Amino acid sequence: MDYPKSGQPVPLKEIPKLKNKNKPDWNAPETMNSAQGNYYESRRAIGRLFRAIDLPVEQQRFRPDSGRRGRQDQNNRNGGLDDLEDTFSQFSLDSAREDIFFVIVEARVREYVDTNAYPDDDEVAFLTQLFSRYASELRAICMANTISYSRSAQLSEEEAVIGTIAQKTSQPRKRKDAMAKLREATDVLVRSIREELAGDDTFTFDDALKRAWAAWEFSISQGAVWGAQSFKWVALGSIFEAIREIEQDESVF
């Protein structure tokens, strides 16, 4: 019976009833143990995938420093801008060249610019400030878009880059809205950083590629510093964009 066309609703007594009130475990609410309630262990592929993924109940936490002493300690732990510059200045690409991915990217960039040319002091200072701003704003985004009720919770760098929130919640819609805001804020930040790497109107495409390559080197030199892993991908996107612009410019002639 087609209700929209006929206007006659289906009698409730004619609606088929479930043969079994038990539901598959993958249909259980995220915050509920599937062993509780009327849920059974699904043997289908979706059930196996569901049980293979273990999402955290609480997101990672950090304790923000407060007061002058806290800010000083935080600065000491992060190394400060001077230490970031020193780390980059003393960094050697010898170990990085053992990574096949790095070798492939370097070989592509070397077709257009000298990858061994070290950036001058002004450029190093620029990249240091740019990375510091990126890491600071990304951390703020991760703090602002958490769905945890804890004031000390924040999203991970990986969640921000992928644009997802892994925490379990009893309010999927809230997480969906938070993910949308997270992706929008991260996209705005990444676009801003890439515009800085592209330079102003005085920059040639070669100049933009050199700066993007220097940013790639800078991110590698920072190792496990928070924000460095995602900054590397931002720099890589700028590298590919600069190469595309160079190739298009050459094709005109």
142 in Cβ contact with 154 (< 8 Å): yes
223 in Cβ contact with 179 (< 8 Å): no
Contacts of 52 (CB under 8 A, 6+ apart): none
Which helix (H) or strand (E) segment is 23 a member of? strand 23-24
249 in Cβ contact with 206 (< 8 Å): no
DSSP assignment string, 188-213? HHHHHHHHHHH--TT--HHHHHHHHH
Angle, CA 182 vertex, CA 180 and CA 185 arms, to 5°: 110
pLDDT tens per residue, range 7-60 = 788 888 888 877 777 888 877 766 666 666 788 888 889 888 878 877 655 544
φ and ψ of 94, to 5 deg: -60, -45
Nearest to 167 by CA among 183, 184, 150, 187: 150
Nearest to 128 by CA among 195, 198, 214, 186: 214
How high is the pLDDT of residue 253? 56
pLDDT tens per residue, range 144-188 = 998 887 777 889 999 998 998 888 777 888 889 999 999 999 999
More confident call, 7 vs 208: 208
Alpha helices in 145-171 (DSSP H): 157-162
How high is the pLDDT of residue 78? 47
Q: Is 165 left (phi over 0), alpha (psi -120 to 50) or beta?
A: beta
Nearest to 59 by CA among 169, 140, 136: 169
Whether residue 71 has pLDDT greater than 60: no
More confident call, 71 vs 250: 250
Query: In the block, which residue shows the tokens 């790497």?
Result: 197
Other beta carbons within 10 angstroms of residue 141's beta carbon come to: 20
Q: How far is CA 156 from CA 59, 115, 164, 188, in A?
A: 8, 32, 10, 18
Whether residue 68 has pLDDT greater than 90: no
Taking the mean position of all CA atoms in its chain, how far away is CA 137? 13
How far is it, in rounded angstroms, from Cα 110 to Cα 42? 53
Nearest to 88 by CA among 202, 231, 243, 237: 231
Three-state DSSP state, 140: helix
